[in-house]
């Protein structure tokens, strides 16, 4: 039997491609910790990122060897953070999922979602506490020491509110893409070389 040299070369190339992809997927998986995302969900994103087509839950489960429940939870996490999109394909009845490939957008969406929640929670807590502080300041029986502490706290809360106003502006610059006026994306030399 003759061995086709082209097939041997193709198999080597495929293995090298898979090794290169696996290295990046491993790195993505390790770095997802920064986003508060588990290794398995990070790996799921990496698999979807390199997939040449959208995948079903069953295909992802098979590729990763995860349970259906774990897979559903992982996909939901990625959907909630806009790292994965549900896509539609004519003739396919099952849900299909595709990784968001624009890492700038992934960063913007992920942190904007998290920061908006934090801003809302913290500003609500500040507003509630300010009511208590006002009552303490306006109560004639409140000691001068407590009033002094209240004033110190109110000054700190004013600084916190200024920070949340700034953070809201940062989020808006992400959403409007105005951030790129201040910090431009690097030119994409890869795309220029391909043209």
For 159-195, how does the pLDDT look when each residue is reduced to its tens digit (9 = 90+)? 999 999 999 999 999 999 999 999 999 976 654 544 4
Query: Backbone phi, then psi, for 74, in 5-degree steps?
Result: -65, -45
Domain regions of the chain by residue span: 5-100, 104-182
What is the per-residue pLDDT for 140? 95
List the end-to-end C-alpha distance of the chain, in Å, as a whole number. Answer: 43
Q: What DSSP assignment string belongs to 104-132?
A: HHHHHHHHHHHHHHHHHHHHHHHHHHHHH
pLDDT tens figures, 135-169? 999 999 999 999 999 999 999 999 999 999 999 99
Top-level class of domain 5-100:
mainly alpha
| pTM score, whole prediction | 0.75
Torsional sign, CA 120, 105, 162, 118: positive
* Separation CA 184–CA 76 (nearest Å): 32
Supply 103's token pair.
């890492």
8 A C-beta contact, residue 43 and residue 29: yes
pLDDT exceeds cutoff 90 at 34: no
Supply 37's token pair.
């995302």
């Amino acid at each position: 039997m003759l061995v086709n040299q082209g097939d041997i070369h193709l198999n080597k190339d495929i293995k090298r491609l898979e090794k290169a992809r696996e290295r990046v997927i491993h790195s993505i998986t390790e770095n997802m910790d920064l986003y508060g995302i588990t290794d398995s969900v990070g790996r799921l994103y990496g698999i979807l990122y390199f997939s040449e087509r959208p995948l079903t839950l069953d295909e992802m489960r098979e590729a990763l060897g995860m349970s259906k429940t774990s897979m559903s939870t992982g996909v939901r996490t990625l959907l909630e953070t806009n790292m994965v999109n549900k896509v539609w394909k004519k003739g396919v009845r099952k849900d299909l999922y595709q990784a968001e490939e624009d890492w700038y957008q992934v960063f913007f969406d992920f942190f904007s979602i998290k920061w908006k929640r934090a801003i809302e929670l913290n500003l609500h807590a500040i507003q509630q506490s300010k009511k208590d502080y006002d009552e303490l300041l306006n109560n004639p029986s409140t000691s001068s020491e407590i009033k002094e502490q209240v004033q110190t706290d109110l000054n700190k809360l004013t600084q916190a509110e200024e920070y949340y106003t700034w953070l809201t502006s940062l989020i808006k610059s992400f959403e409007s893409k105005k951030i790129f006026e201040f910090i431009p994306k690097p030119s994409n030399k890869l795309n220029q070389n391909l043209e």
